[in-house]
């Protein structure tokens, strides 16, 4: 029988589970990350896991949404401080760095991600999709920006640029240098 946890202990353990989940997801993937491994990492009995989460998917969903929220907050904060094309470039570069820390958020065609996604409820999938759409809308709804090209083309170009993260080990130059170069040039071509 798991011991009772104080509110503070629960908060700390939930954060530890999220950190362990994020790290394991990055290193081993969704499928190879088990509740046993996470409990071992956090240092509590497996039965206690279910005090905090209904199942593994609930934890992974929370980690995914936290990463999405963090990315969105970073993007918003940078644009708020610098509402210009330069600010947009900085914001996109910061988003890229966050994706690099949490590639599971971006690589949605990866079989491991698809396995995770298929275990989610319809509501959870819709919530993830809505947050992704919100970021796209945020990029293109800035009053200081006007598009020089079709919006769908602009979204596609930026998505393709972000997807370079999945090929970072195949490039002869550091991925951040490549991404910075592409963003600086694309922002000039895409926006007035």
DSSP secondary structure of 44-77: S-HHHHHHH-SSHHHHHHHHHHHHHHHHHHHHHH
pLDDT of residue 3: 60
The answer to whether 36 touches 72, Cβ cutoff 8 Å, is no
pLDDT of residue 164: 85
pLDDT of residue 1: 42
Residues of the chain below pLDDT 70? 1-3, 143
Q: For the CA atoms of the chain, what is the radius of gyration?
A: 19
Angle at 40 between CA 39 and CA 41, to 5 degrees: 90
Alpha carbon distances (Å) from 81 to 89, 92, 150, 191: 13, 14, 27, 19
pLDDT of residue 165: 82
pLDDT of residue 106: 72
Q: Encode pLDDT of 164-184 as tens digits.
A: 888 888 889 998 999 999 999
Joined tokens for residue 148: 């020089």
pLDDT of residue 143: 64
What domains lie within the chain, and their CATH numbers?
1-53 (1.10.10.60), 56-190 (1.10.357.10)
């Amino acid at each position: 029988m798991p011991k009772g946890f104080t509110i503070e202990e629960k908060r700390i353990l939930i954060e530890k589970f999220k950190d362990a989940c994020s790290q394991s997801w990055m290193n081993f993937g969704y499928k190879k990350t088990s509740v046993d491994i996470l409990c071992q990492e956090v240092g509590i009995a497996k039965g206690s896991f279910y005090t905090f989460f209904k199942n593994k998917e609930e934890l992974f969903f929370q980690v995914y949404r936290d990463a999405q929220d963090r990315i969105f907050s970073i993007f918003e904060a940078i644009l708020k401080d610098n509402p210009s094309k330069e600010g947009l470039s900085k914001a996109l570069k910061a988003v890229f760095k966050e994706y690099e820390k949490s590639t599971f958020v971006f690589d949605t065609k990866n079989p491991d991600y698809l396995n995770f996604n298929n275990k989610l409820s319809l509501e959870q999938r819709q919530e993830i999709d809505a947050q992704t759409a919100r970021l796209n809308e945020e990029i293109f709804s800035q009053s200081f920006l006007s598009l020089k090209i079709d919006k769908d083309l602009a979204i596609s170009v930026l998505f393709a640029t972000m997807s370079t993260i999945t090929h970072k080990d195949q490039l002869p130059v550091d991925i951040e240098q490549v991404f910075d170069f592409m963003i600086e040039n694309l922002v000039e071509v895409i926006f007035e």
